[in-house]
Chains A and B, each alone.
Chain A
Amino acid sequence: MALAFLDRDRSIAPAGYSRWLVPPAALAIHLSIGQVYSFSVFKNPLLALHAADGSAWNLKEIGYIFSIAIAFLGISAALFGAWLEKAGPRRAMFYAAISFGAGFIIASLGASTHQLALIYLGYGVVGGVGLGLGYISPVSTLIKWFPDRPGLATGLAIMGFGGGAMIGGPLASNLMAHFKAAGQPSIPYTMATMGVLYFIFMMFGVFTIRVPPTGWKPEGWVPKVNHSALISSHNVAVTEAWKTPQFWLLWVMLFVNVTAGIGILEQAAPMIQDLFKGQISPVAAVGFVGILSIFNMAGRFLWASVSDFIGRKGTYFTFFVLGSILYFFLPFSRQDKINSVPLFVAIAALVISMYGGGFATIPAYLKDLFGGFNVSAIHGRLLTAWSAAGIIGPLIVNGILDHYVENHMNKQEAYPLILHIMCGLLVVGFLANLMVRPVAEKFWLKDQNVVVPDGPAH
């Protein structure tokens, strides 16, 4: 069969295969799908598009494109996680490449014919499925290749998702400028070109990814005998995992961490301009968003790597304690208080590094608690917390801002309230993390003992 090369059996690494070939494969996928974070570059060009009858879309209608994509990311990750465990990462990455690429092509047709429903279907639904499949596909494979450093391995891949916006944003801007200068329809051509480019780039990941042979261990690596009670030597099936309190505690932790991050990311550019009136130009505000992207990406790798040494629970403890303190003090750096742009930028950047770190550390936390057997599937279900935060976060932020604007109140005063609500949410996350205990024996998968991964004391 033509697609037999996608089978898990055909992607087992031969003896001598270097595990350092696997992170680039994972990065190719995550750098591509991370483009979704830069979707806002299409907002103004889409607003400027007019149908034959002169009608145009509004900001709210265009905003739904991103929301649908993120919702389908969570839904598809939850639905296809268990299938991915059986089908293997190569097949999942292949379908992710097709979906993500096809999503762009369908959306380009929608832009070309001025049919918003086609863009919702293409970029939102089809592309969103590609996002979900692509996001979870390399995670368990990386954990199996790096049992000695699961945080570093997943951090590397998920860092790519944060970095994807840094490529997707300028790529889209440059392509639109190029097609516009050439007198061609800029958005449809840009979307179609990006669909093809991302498909090719993701196929590099498809062809490079390999799963380790059964029982493979890094050369010279001996699992530690003494390890934290939170690092399980047993597996838990996905069907049991979501019945455990640990799953829901981690769900709450991811949810509050993402919601808090969205509190800044959702309004980053207008927020800094409102808090420092007259001091920050629109161009500088875009620069601020750029700084946040860099720290979002770097935090994924750095915090996840640190978690290999201080433990997952210790890492989240840092996120929630340091995070809540920083969220509390962030508004005080504004113009009518301390009036320090560098202080505001530094605090926001550190906070966003922990937002990214939360995403990157969660797969290793799941692996510690539930074992590696179904980690992709469990991770997939946990990502519904992201979808929920993607809806609730903007609702809180925009709801409060709208309330201030509608009631002719000083908008500048809305931000401290928003940031202090986020601070409160992080306290909830802190309590959830504190309650995480080893998974009870009744949930263990029988006769599926695994090699205990290396890990720090939590």
Chain B
Amino acid sequence: MAESTTKKSSPLLIAAAWIVVIIPTAWGLDYTVKNALKIFAKPTAAPVVQTK
């Protein structure tokens, strides 16, 4: 007869599994956001646009 009690996955195990994928994602996101913010920085020594 099958055992009636079932062993549930540990919340710590679930958290650990998510941490494994979140750490590299957070690292990549941090790097990308830092670069992305440069678009809103004022350009240095922007060339003068010639208008006719």
A-B contact count (CB 8 A): 103
B9 lies within 8 A of A18 (CB): yes
Within 8 A of B (CB), among A158-175: 160, 163, 166-171
Cβ 8 A contact of B21, one of A24, A168, A169 = A24
CB-CB < 8 A to B24: which residues of A? 31, 167, 201
- Does any Cβ of A come within 8 Å of B14's Cβ? yes
Q: Is the CB of B20 within 8 A of A24?
A: yes
Count residues of A near B (Cβ-Cβ below 8 Å).
42
Contacts of B21 in A (CB 8 A): 24, 27-28, 31, 160
The reply to whether B39 and A341 form a contact with Cβ atoms under 8 Å apart is yes
Establish whether residues B35 and A278, one from each chain, have CB atoms under 8 Å apart when the complex forms.
no
A29 to chain B, nearest CB (A): 10
The residue from B6, B27, B29 contacting A294, defined by CB atoms under 8 A apart: B29
CA distance A345 to B40 in the complex (A): 10
- Least Cβ distance of B45 to chain A in Å? 9
Count contacts on B: residues with CB < 8 A to the other chain: 31
Q: How far, in Å, is B5 (CB) from chain A's closest CB?
A: 9
* B36 on the A face (CB < 8 A): yes
A125 to chain B, nearest CB (A): 26
Does B1 make an interface contact (CB < 8 A)? no
- Whether A293 pairs with B32 at a CB distance below 8 angstroms is yes
Q: In terms of DSSP, what is the predominant structure of the interface of chain B?
A: helix
> Of B8, B9, B33, which is in contact with the most chain A CB atoms at under 10 Å from its CB?
B9
Tell me, yes or no, whether A204 is within 8 Å of chain B by CB: yes
Confirm or deny: A14 has a beta carbon within 8 angstroms of a beta carbon on chain B: yes
Could you tell me which residues of chain A, from 140 to 189, have a CB within 8 Å of some CB in chain B?
Answer: 160, 163, 166-171
Interface residues of A in 271-302 (CB under 8 A from B): 277-281, 283-288, 290-291, 293-294
* CB atoms of A163 and B28 under 8 A apart: yes
The docked-state distance in angstroms from the alpha carbon of A205 to that of B6 is: 24
A216 within 8 A of B: no
Among B7, B9, B13, B39, the residue within 8 A (CB) of A345 is: B39
Q: Does A17 contact B (CB under 8 A)?
A: yes
Q: Residues of A contacting B44 with CB < 8 Å?
A: 281
Cross-interface CB contact of B39 among A166, A201, A288, cutoff 8 Å: A288
Check B17 against A24 for contact (C-beta < 8 Å): yes
Asked if A208 CB lies within 8 Å of chain B CBs, one says yes
Top 5 nearest A-B pairs (CB, nearest first) are A166-B28, A18-B9, A290-B36, A167-B28, A16-B6
* A–B Cβ pairs within 8 angstroms, 12 of them: A15-B6, A15-B7, A16-B6, A31-B24, A160-B25, A166-B29, A167-B24, A279-B43, A280-B39, A286-B38, A287-B39, A341-B39
- Residues on B facing A (Cβ under 8 Å): 6-9, 13-14, 17-18, 20-21, 24-25, 27-29, 31-33, 35-41, 43-44, 46-49
